[in-house]
Each structure stands twice: as C-alpha cells, then as structure tokens.
Amino acid sequence: METLDFVKTSLRLSGPYFDAQLNNLIDAAMLDLDQSGVAVLGTPDQVIQSAISVYCRIHFGNDDPVVMEGYMRAYDSMKTKLACC
C-alpha cells in the first residue's frame, strides 16, 4: 500500500482534500527518521509506514496535548527501535 493511502486509512480520511498537507507530513516524517539513523530507501515497509502514520497523527488535526504526548512517546520509541536495526 502506498504511504499516503496507508496514512489516510489510519487517520480515517478519504478523498483528496488533505493530500498535499499529508504528503508534506510524510516527507517531514521520512526526513526525521533519516536524520535519526533510520534507512528510508525507496518505498517504506509496513513498520516504517506505521511510524510515519504515528508522526502524522501527532501533527494532523490533534489538539489534545495528552493524546499528542502519547503519540510522541510512541513515535520516539518506534524511531529508536528502527534506528537500532
């Protein structure tokens, strides 16, 4: 599954309305993962797509700081584990 479609499904979105914003977040997540030592080459696998999806949940339409903090801890944990592989 393409990363954009994976993220849209995880965010329960349909239609092209937020595609540009989501693509920017996907690019930012991939850059963040890359700078953290995670090799993101070509099409991301399901584990990396999951990390990207969590990153997008943090930055897309989420105003609850408690929820954002939980997602941030999850993302940081995923990123750390991926960087060790």
Residues 14-55 have pLDDT tens digits of: 999 999 999 999 999 999 999 999 988 777 889 999 999 999
Question: Which has more confidence, 43 or 5?
Answer: 5
What integer is the mean pLDDT of 43-70? 92
**Given the structure tokens 């943090």, which residue do they identify?**
58
Mean pLDDT, the chain, whole residue set: 93
The sign of the torsion formed by the CA atoms of 77, 57, 7, 37 equals: negative
Residue 85 has pLDDT above 80, yes or no: no
Q: What is the pLDDT of residue 20?
A: 98
Buried b (16+ CB within 10 A) or exposed e, 11-22: beeeeeebeeeb
CA 1 to chain CA centroid, nearest Å: 14
Residue 32: CA atoms inside 13 Å, Cβ hemisphere, count?
19
Q: Is the pTM of this model over 0.85?
A: yes
